[in-house]
Amino acid sequence: MAHNEDVVERKSSQDIINQLSVILRNAQIHDPNNVAVVSAIERFLSLINPLVESERTVSLELIGEFFYLDGMRIRYSLEYLINFDFLVREFKNREVGSIIFKEKINPDDIKLFLKAFIAAGFSQDPYEKISDMMAESNRIIVDRLKKIKEGDEVDVRKIIKKTYFNAVSYSKGVMKKIKSGEKVNIKKAKRIVETMVDQILGEEQLLLSMTTIKDYDEYTYHHSVNVSILSVALGQRIGLRKRVLTELGLAALFHDMGKIEVPHDVLNKPSNFNEDEWRLIRKHPIWGVRSILKLRGFDPVTVRSSIVAFEHHLHHDFSGYPKVKNYKDLDFFSRIVSIADQYDAMTSARVYSRVPMSPDKALSLMMERSDSQLDPLLMKFFVNMIGVYPIGSLVMLDTKELGLVYETDVVFVDRPRVLIIVDKTGKRVKGTVVSLTEKDKYGRYLRSVVKTLDANKYKINLAEFLL
């Protein structure tokens, strides 16, 4: 992708998106000459015109879930979350991918655009409608939303699967080496995490779907990689820069390093831990600090990783472990990693007897804990990222088919892409992936979720279908 992944910090770009959203919302309820619409247009022009004058053309493009202004990703802010989501949805509904402003814009240009945009919303071929109507303007140009071709998707999936398993085998290798006292090459870890960061920026959903792979024999290795992916994805949502995302991904990958010192038969005990065993397990954050600092000479990244290892069970309100006194604040990375860690741990089968929680159950339990154990603001972003029907959820559809949530749709949060695994007649099928946003010619949805079921009860998991 030729786009610059540096997040635009300028508040004015966020204002542009926000203001465009305000205009559209107002124009959908009021007449174009209404005061609210007119003043919203004025405000929008005061933001966009200075840019057009200095840059000649300004493009506003939707790629995946993010808007880009002249190729720079615009930071997603909580303050504007609703307006951003609204605009993404309205663009996608009309298959509009970008708007290009050429020359200074006047209120009539915007009014024409509003008319076309609203008319397209009622049309069978929304994009054709809007581009037809906009043909008379040479100051505002619209372009179609780009879609990934089916064929491409298969290859991307292969590449992403490779990244995931590379990371798992690396984390396995590192832990084994440290255990035997060997020196560990952290450069390789950095390269692996950098690849994951790149893939999350481009194909967030695909890499996130890999985190549903949880192998209980190799729990700790998969868990480390899953926590790293979930942390980076969350960091990306709040607009962290690429370099910071890599540091976060590394810290997350090493968060449970201290577990190598917990005896194997305790760690993998099939029944509940007794008090002595708990005492050992509660030491892994401190042991983690020691192992990480042994990785190589002091540098800011290793130091920060060791802080995260120390703090990841401390909790937002310090009610966790190890017990601390007069502790000021959790490191920002630790707050992110704690959320990713709890989510992955809850949704994994750690030992043979332990049944993992369904993703939606884990999320609602975590929501109850936000404020006390977890950072409430970050939790909001996390829930928004995982979606109403998290990847891997088993859903029953109104067509009597059963499916697994394959990919969530950030715009239509209740209409994910679903892998059908049981057909209308109740027969197990080697499924196809359908999107719940598909409609028939009357505009009715072809399929909708009726309810979620506990995938573990049916002994079904998405990982089987990914591998």
- By C-beta, is 127 or 321 nearer to Fe ion? 321
Piece in contact with Fe ion (CB under 5 A), picked from 191-199, 334-342, 388-396, 452-460: 334-342
Cα–Cα dist 197/231, whole Å: 10
Piece in contact with Fe ion (CB under 5 A), picked from 73-81, 105-113, 159-167, 336-344: 336-344
| Cβ 213 to Fe ion shortest distance, Å | 16
Cα–Cα dist 240/110, whole Å: 33
| Cβ 263 to Fe ion shortest distance, Å | 16
| Cβ 344 to Fe ion shortest distance, Å | 7
Q: Are 220 and 168 in contact (CB under 8 A)?
A: no
| Cβ 253 to Fe ion shortest distance, Å | 11
- By C-beta, is 204 or 256 nearer to Fe ion? 256
Piece in contact with Fe ion (CB under 5 A), picked from 75-83, 131-139, 231-239, 252-260: 252-260
Instruction: Kindly tell me which residue out of 204, 247, 256, 401 binds Fe ion, with binding defined by CB under 5 A.
Output: 256
Q: Which of residues 404-433 bind Fe ion (CB under 5 A)?
A: none
Cα–Cα dist 161/149, whole Å: 19
Q: From residue 212 to residue 251, what is the string marking binding to Fe ion with x (rule CB under 5 A)?
A: ----------------------------------------
- By C-beta, is 83 or 171 nearer to Fe ion? 171
- By C-beta, is 203 or 341 nearer to Fe ion? 341
Piece in contact with Fe ion (CB under 5 A), picked from 89-97, 180-188, 335-343, 411-419: 335-343
| Cβ 340 to Fe ion shortest distance, Å | 9
Instruction: Kindly tell me which residue out of 90, 311, 341, 375 binds Fe ion, with binding defined by CB under 5 A.
Output: 341
| Cβ 235 to Fe ion shortest distance, Å | 17
- CA torsion sign for 202, 205, 206, 207 is positive
| Cβ 256 to Fe ion shortest distance, Å | 4
- By C-beta, is 5 or 256 nearer to Fe ion? 256
| Cβ 321 to Fe ion shortest distance, Å | 10
| Cβ 456 to Fe ion shortest distance, Å | 20
- By C-beta, is 341 or 375 nearer to Fe ion? 341
Piece in contact with Fe ion (CB under 5 A), picked from 86-94, 253-261, 269-277, 358-366: 253-261
Piece in contact with Fe ion (CB under 5 A), picked from 51-59, 256-264, 354-362, 439-447: 256-264
- By C-beta, is 257 or 411 nearer to Fe ion? 257
Q: How many CA atoms lie less than 13 Å away from 369 in the CB half-sphere?
A: 19
Cα–Cα dist 83/44, whole Å: 14
Query: Count of residues binding Fe ion (CB under 5 A)?
Result: 2
| Cβ 228 to Fe ion shortest distance, Å | 11
Q: From residue 286 to residue 325, what is the string marking binding to Fe ion with x (rule CB under 5 A)?
A: ----------------------------------------
Q: Which of residues 96-135 bind Fe ion (CB under 5 A)?
A: none
Which residues contact Fe ion by CB under 5 A? 256, 341
